Amino acid sequence: MLTIDQLTKTYTAGDTALREVTFRVPRGQVVGLIGPSGAGKSTLIRCINRLVEPTSGAIRLGETDLVRLGRRELRQARRRIGMIFQEYALVERLTVMENVLSGRLGYVPFWRSFTRRFPGRDIENAYRLLDRVGLLEHANKRADALSGGQRQRVGIARALAQEPELLLVDEPTASLDPRTSRQIMRLITEICTERQLPAIVNIHDVPLAQQFVDRLVGLRAGQVVFDNAPDRLDEATLTDIYGAEDWTGTDEDEDAPDNANETRDALRLAGTAT
Amino acid sequence: MTPDSAYSRRWRRPPQLVTTRGWRLMLPLLVLAYLVLALGSLEVDAGRVVEGLSRGARFVQGFLQPDFTSRWQDIRQGLIESLTMTLTATVVGVLVSVPIGIGAARNLSPRPVYLVCRSIVAVSRSLQEIIIAIFLVAMFGFGPFAGFLTLAFASIGFVAKLLADDIEEASASQIEAIRATGASGWQLIHYAIQPQVMPRLIGLSLYRLDINFRESAVIGIVGAGGIGATLNTAIDRYEYDSAGAILLLVIAIVMLSEYGSSHLRKYLQ
């Protein structure tokens, strides 16, 4: 269980990115974090594993207050938090297997990771995860030889290799086509149910979020302005989160125009990526 | 055509650098005046040019009939010395450059370490090889040892700086992802940084190998051993045919290593 209590982040330039954000995520729940660009979604999930240092407040994972950890303890706490990234953030020149095994770095001594002699249990588990995400036969390929959807599956396997107690997911579908986006979101939510993992998913695509997550939290200018079941999100709350706009067509069953945009973007991305 | 249009039909690019009209006229005149005066102080002497040209003709004659045989022992020894110096200095230089390069990368190192490493790089880069060689020959005496130290020191500035710049350009998201797994500092460098910079580091080392061989011919002239010393002796003895042979060999070796390293680098990409 993750508890975020009065979390505030002020950057040194004086901008407040987060203002007393408070919520908790019980085991097995997938929380979608929505809000306009610059609302602090990315800062919020990076505060949890302290890739960004919070200014004040508390973040408790189980019994540990993550905000107060020293360097060593922080490394140990990070092992318990798996992270999945926008644009995958795989180390492109390493093989798929090495990328998955890098999820074990916090658990093995330097000489083991340096010589690539990971414990047999870790390797077995890495194969099992690659099989779970459907990439078993790609284990020895270089990460940059895979397609976008496949890379994100490797990213998921890497996060799971940590045997995490919490998943942080940052825009997992930002550069994927609509079909792959749905497959990736389904995979993430299935895995969270299987393992009873709590997860926070930053996501721009509101209909996609409504389709897959258990609960939505809306951020605007660093403050929580919505926290409820996905089907409770209506036009008024969307306006509250994102600002005034014509929201017709945003409901999950009639997202055609939005979808067409995505397809065009996906095609463009596929064209530049290959 | 609308003659009564309110918009002007003329446009000229506004002056960009010097905006006052007076200075725009004065500046070229001042530069010209300085150029004339400076040329006057150089003692341009037609007689010396003619004399020099005839001496140059003797060089060319010597080079056209290169003599590899009469000084072959010296040339062979010089070449071996140069190649030894080059290889050892490059290996040592690169090995020392890696930690300094990591230290000089702003995205990895704490501020004090960064400043120290960047200063080492700056010192090494600001001193030209010949100047370093003069110091080191004075300190450690004539011979290839001084040359080896010179080239190793110069390699550090070159490789460490370019490596550090490359590390600073490494993808931040990959670094962040490895950091998020709970990896230690060394693991971070080995898993997130090394795969990203390795091809470049190998390319840089091969390139530096080239440069070091060329420099080894130059620093020999100030006493740091190698083929440069042999070349210097040959010219001092007016043996332009031997000097020509040496130059041809240097050119051949540089071309060979250039060709070889560019091939290797292409293969590594």
- The string of pLDDT tens digits covering residues A180-190 is 999 999 999 99
Helices (H) and strands (E) in chain B, counts: 11, 0
pLDDT for A146 equals 94
What one-character DSSP code corresponds to residue A225?
E
- Is pLDDT above 90 for B13? no
Q: Answer whether B182 sits within 8 Å of A94, measured CB to CB.
A: no
pLDDT for B58 equals 82
pLDDT for A44 equals 94
pLDDT for A250 equals 66
Residue from the list B171, B176, B191 with its beta carbon closest to the beta carbon of A105: B191
pLDDT for A34 equals 93
Q: Answer whether A103 sits within 8 Å of B184, measured CB to CB.
A: no
- Is pLDDT above 70 for B110? yes
Q: What's the pLDDT tens digit per position in A81-133?
A: 999 999 899 999 999 999 999 999 999 999 999 999 999 999 999 999 999 99
Q: Answer whether A92 sits within 8 Å of B174, measured CB to CB.
A: yes
CATH of the domain at A183: 3.40.50.300
Looking at residue A130, its amino acid is: L
With a CB cutoff of 8 Å and minimum separation 6, the contacts of A147 are none
Residue from the list B176, B191, B196 with its beta carbon closest to the beta carbon of A102: B191
Domain segments of chain B as ranges: 61-268
Helix, strand or coil for residue A20?
strand
pLDDT for B168 equals 95
Interface of A with B (CB under 8 A): 49, 51, 75-79, 81, 83, 85-87, 89-94, 98, 102-107, 110, 113-114, 155, 158, 162, 168
Q: What angle do CA B182, B185, B189 make, to 5 degrees?
A: 105
- Give the whole-angstrom CA distance, residue B131 versus residue B134: 5
Distance between B152 CA and the closest CA of chain A, angstroms: 28
- Domain count along chain A: 1
With a CB cutoff of 8 Å and minimum separation 6, the contacts of B228 are B78, B82, B216, B217, B218, B219, B220, B221
pLDDT for A256 equals 43
What percentage of chain B has pLDDT greater than the value 70?
A: 98
Confidence of residue A257 (pLDDT cuts 50, 70, 90): very low
Q: What's the pLDDT tens digit per position in B59-96?
A: 788 778 888 888 888 899 999 999 999 999 999 999 99
Residue B185 near chain A (CB below 8 Å): no
Q: Answer whether B183 sits within 8 Å of A105, measured CB to CB.
A: yes
> Which tokens hold the place of B123?
């010192």
Residue of A nearest to B177 (CA): A89
Task: Look at A259 and A59; give whichever has higher pLDDT.
Answer: A59
Q: What's the pLDDT tens digit per position in B31-42?
A: 999 999 998 888
pLDDT for B241 equals 86
- Is pLDDT above 60 for A263? no
- Give the whole-angstrom CA distance, residue B155 versus residue B93: 5
> Which tokens hold the place of B67?
């003599």
Residues B225 and B140 sit within 8 Å (Cβ to Cβ): no
Residue from the list A93, A94, A105 with its beta carbon closest to the beta carbon of B181: A105
Residue of B nearest to A77 (CA): B182
Chain B residue numbers touching A106 (CB-CB < 8 A): 181-184
Structural element, H or E, at residue A224: strand A223-228
- Is pLDDT above 50 for A218? yes
CATH class given for the domain over B61-268: mainly alpha
Nearest to B227 by CA among B237, B238, B212: B212
pLDDT for B269 equals 66
pLDDT for A14 equals 81
Residue found under tokens 């929380």:
A31
Q: Answer whether B180 sits within 8 Å of A106, measured CB to CB.
A: no
pLDDT for A78 equals 95
Residue B183 near chain A (CB below 8 Å): yes
Mean pLDDT of A202-218: 92
Q: What's the pLDDT tens digit per position in A17-72?
A: 999 999 999 999 999 999 998 888 999 999 999 999 999 999 999 889 999 999 99
Q: What's the pLDDT tens digit per position in B156-202?
A: 999 999 999 999 999 999 999 999 999 999 999 999 999 999 988 99
Task: Look at A249 and B232; give whichever has higher pLDDT.
Answer: B232
Helices (H) and strands (E) in chain A, counts: 10, 10
Buried b or exposed e, range A43-79, using 16+ CB within 10 angstroms: bbbbbbbbbbebbebebebeeeebbeeeeeeebebbb
Query: What is the extent of the structural domain holding A7?
Result: 2-273
